[in-house]
Amino acid sequence: MSTPYLLVDADDDGEGLPASLGAVAEQGRGSLPFALLHGEALVACAAWAMGEAGVDLVDLGTPWSSVVAADEPFVLHDSLCPMTPPAFLAACVREAVEIGEVVVGVRTVTDTVKRVEDGVVGETVDRDAVWAVTSPLVLPADVVAALEGDGGPAALSPGLDLAELVAALGRRGPVRHLEAPSEGRRVSSGEDVEVLAVLTRPR
């Protein structure tokens, strides 16, 4: 079950952000998280953004029981969305805490999408109803605690694929979508990294 998009002010300064823990997912993504963007590895860019957003980073190997004990929201940031602005990360955390629901960053789909039934290409899907998971994925403290018996997000999706996690969490309760800015797009190739570099080139 999902609720509609919310637009976030890109100038949100993160003031008053609740304390939160988080991690940057890079496993299961090949070598791309270590590609360079503006002279830094993608995973380093993502970690920097988390720090700027006020999220305290923990190692992904940290026992989930320790994360639960902190009684704070947990932010999972994808290293393949390295230029997601800190203000957007902070806004997602704030929204998750305020509404007590899982929050995920998404982008609208621009490619043409067709339905396929029995191997036959059918009608075009309305793109306004289609979205792509980007980053971050924020779990409020109550959801963090509820996942303790399951071993946390890594147990729901061993590769910490955010789209898989959103699907699994959506079967448990509501997931709120926040529309990410264009620089928060997910990269899947070296060519995508080059495009993102141009898009986010310092002025």
The predicted-structure confidence for 5-50, as pLDDT tens digits, reads as follows 344 444 444 556 789 999 999 999 999 999 999 999 999 999 999 9
Mean pLDDT computed over every residue of the chain: 86
Over residues 79-96, the mean pLDDT reads 97
Q: What is the mean pLDDT of residues 50-75?
A: 95
Q: Distance (Å, rounded) from C-alpha 72 to C-alpha 112?
A: 40
Give the amino acid at 21.
Answer: L
Is-contact 23 76, C-beta < 8 A? yes
How many C-beta atoms lie closer than 10 Å to residue 166's C-beta? 19
Q: Is this model's pTM higher than 0.75 or not?
A: yes
pLDDT at 202: 81
Instruction: Kindly state the helix (H) or strand (E) to which residue 92 belongs, with its residue range.
Output: helix 86-99
pLDDT value at 82 more than 50: yes
Q: What percent of the chain has pLDDT over 70?
A: 81
Residue 167 burial by Cβ neighbours in a 10 Å radius (0-12, 13-18, 19+):
middle
**In this structure, how many other beta carbons lie within 10 angstroms of the beta carbon of residue 133?**
22
Contact 106, 137 (CB under 8 A): no
Tell me, what's the pLDDT at 108? 86
Q: What is the pLDDT of residue 120?
A: 53
- The whole-number pLDDT of residue 5 equals 37
**Per-residue pLDDT tens for 118-160?**
655 445 444 455 679 999 999 999 999 999 988 899 888 988 9
Instruction: Give me the pLDDT at residue 2, please.
Output: 36
Give the model's pLDDT for residue 112: 43
CATH numbers and ranges of domains, the chain: 2-199 (3.90.550.10)
